[in-house]
A and B are shown apart, each in its own frame.
Chain A
């Protein structure tokens, strides 16, 4: 029998009295998980239910519940077969793919090569309605010049020029297969009201900004999910996510602050999974103002004790990085380390005539609250720089301001920035962040172009990967970038749930189970 102390009894009595008085039925306060369903507190909502429309990294996990991608990733982010069982470049501009033959959409119709062609080529060719906008996949797959479908399970993708990252794109942002016949029959507007995919869960109900209700697809080609009913509660505020978990209204809370995760993890019946993912945090560097000289940028990099920041702000869970890529990812040069060396930083600054008495004055911009501890990280860097003779004027900016300045070429010397790359392909790290032609790059240097641009069309995979390793190292050694650490994911859950950690940061309840 459960023992209650006096305070608990008083609480129960007061609660029951209040409930009775207010007429609140007890089932309103039903605890999550009680009815065999998994409830997840998720920090972001979908902008649209058209999975090809937006490349918003934060919600790709949600699309993956209802839709399938041609390829998938293992827990360590390596590629694995999904709808596509076999793939190979037969020449630099032709990619041949074999599709599974046992895949069905939620309405029971088979998924065939025609659906693939529609999702990755035909939809992108359709005229954009007045006031509308192209699908994001139109930009991603712009090099696709044709898709041949010799059989219902064979696809031949033809590219206008080599696209070595095509394989990675088949399991990356917005690359989902949609049902051609159904979408053409009902139109996009109706489709987004009740989407049909071939994924592990079927869509049941969606309230924008509030909730997504799903049920298991028992006929899923990869085997029916073990958890049959999943509800995603969109709770933007991290404090509210923590409160929802503590009051047992959700079974799993995603992206709670690290300190809260550690605290909750210490409670009985709760597990906190805190692990690094393939997204990275870095300083986007320009050669504007005080950073025109390589020595100044290198001094700034040497002066940052990344391990200390990781320990102080991320509980030591954020691995420090020396190039703009996740540790162990294909583009990370093995064994390379850009060392924290305050003495070297001081010496480099001295060569430029600067020191603590005559500091080098620069500007550092940072978002505040866009990703965990962003502004605190920036403040720590300011203090570390101050010790060696760099005086940084710290400015808090919105992401939209960062984007505007990036586009206009008016970013300050350094800007703290978070970069997502669930695929972990090196093209989506340095290829985007450092190729001067890329709209995402901040440091526009003619020295970087020959390092990165040939790799964008290099079809020899071994050469491509070794090329990126070298280019990343080169950029770091010349002070064209200041990578800091990998992002940390927090998942707090009850012990009744077994979760699977994916280093690409995805939250995939189809891989979860309840403990028996």
Chain B
């Protein structure tokens, strides 16, 4: 199993190289073709046309597109994303500060989404044909019909304002100071520094944005799992189990669920990718200082080096999630492991 997983990860890593090259070229090209001027956005008063031309040269924008791309790619391979036009700081520094916040948020959102999706899917199946299924089915429709950013606003309104249960600004309460950043992941840092008050504050601040993200994936998981279970429940081995007198709940959990979970697992991989996209608006609404907020600043100011870097990092994260899901898929699906074995 471990060998097969390693083989799979290596295959995925090799495949990621051309994908990342294509994405980087595409993002680079599209940004350059937009009729927008990154330098003009930050030309200060007192600058002349000559200054403006000089600034274009200093950012390499006077060169041909292929030349610009190759220079950027060359630097990228050395771990240098270049300098931000707007922030006047290395892009790597900006990304390194924002990335842990987004990873932490998406991680929790992902976890919440999976828990709600699977438990909800099981509940829908167990209550099939009864009013419980109808209620749950209706709620998935509502969840899917409302976009994540609107959920974010509704959550703030109901759980932040009307019933002020959760904070909804930033990552930490105003009266608490950040621990010395060990990793940048505040959950980890507060745990490592043995600060329960920090940990509680961090989790409370993450609750609403993570829930807003989770709502984006949970209803789909619920519906797919319910459908898969409905198909699986008619399989011969389920009938055999029933004839053996196994209880209905045990049949569902022990026999039907492991098989029905496979399509759900594939969906989790796809939805995980979408979740990163959802962070852009959710982070802005919750004033959460992650990659999404950084992307908004970069787009508003047409800060090309930052947009390129964040887009590429999103791509790497999506590929990473898909690779992890593939490994999990391999672990839970014995047929795949058998296929991998030599005859």
Chain A residues in the interface with B (C-beta under 8 A): 11, 14-15, 18-19, 22-25, 27-30, 32, 35, 37, 39, 41, 45, 47-48, 50, 53-55, 128, 131-133, 136, 139-142, 173-174, 192, 205, 207-211, 213, 231, 233-237, 239-240, 243-244, 246-250, 398-401, 403-407, 428, 432, 439-440
Contact = CB atoms under 8 A, between A and B. Distances in A.
13 contacts: A29-B204, A47-B86, A54-B88, A133-B85, A140-B45, A207-B172, A210-B289, A240-B168, A247-B161, A247-B168, A400-B40, A401-B34, A403-B40
List of 10 A-B pairs having minimum Cβ-Cβ separation, nearest first = A209-B289, A403-B40, A400-B36, A400-B302, A136-B44, A404-B37, A139-B46, A210-B289, A210-B170, A55-B44
B289 A15 contact: no
Interface in B232-290: 284-290
Nearest to A234: B287
Contacts of A407: 37, 40, 52
Nearest to A250: B169
A48 B164 contact: no
A210 B40 contact: no
A136 B46 CA distance: 9
A15 B88 CA distance: 45
Nearest to A174: B44
Contact of B41 (A28, A37, A403, A440): A403
Interface residues of B, number: 70
A404 B37 CA distance: 5
Contacts of B200: 23-25, 28
A239 B170 contact: no
Contact of A439 (B42, B47, B153, B164): B47
Nearest to A173: B45
A207 B36 contact: no
A29 B301 CA distance: 34
A192 B289 CA distance: 18
A246 to B, nearest CB: 5
Contacts of B36: 398, 400-401, 403-404
Contacts of A35: 175
Interface string B217-238: 0000000000000000000000
A233 B40 contact: no
B37 A133 contact: no
B89 A140 contact: no
Most chain A CB atoms below 10 A, which of B157, B165, B302:
B165
Contact of A209 (B168, B197, B294): B294
B55 interface: yes
A142 B45 CA distance: 11
A48 B47 contact: no
* Residue among A173, A240, A432 having the largest count of chain B Cβ atoms under 10 Å: A240
B98 interface: yes
B6 interface: no
Contacts of A405: 35
A478 B201 CA distance: 61
Nearest to A236: B284
Contact of A29 (B37, B82, B167, B285): B167
A14 B165 CA distance: 10
B293 A28 contact: no
A50 B89 CA distance: 11
Interface in B144-188: 153, 156-157, 160-175, 177-178
A233 B167 contact: no
Given A37-B174, A233-B169, A244-B169, A54 B42 contact: yes
B157 A243 contact: yes
Contacts of B300: 399
A205 B172 CA distance: 12
Contacts of A141: 46
Nearest to A240: B285
A469 B230 CA distance: 79
B49 interface: yes
Contacts of A428: 45
A439 B38 CA distance: 15
Contacts of A174: 44
A405 B41 CA distance: 12
Interface string B57-91: 01000000000000000000000001101111100
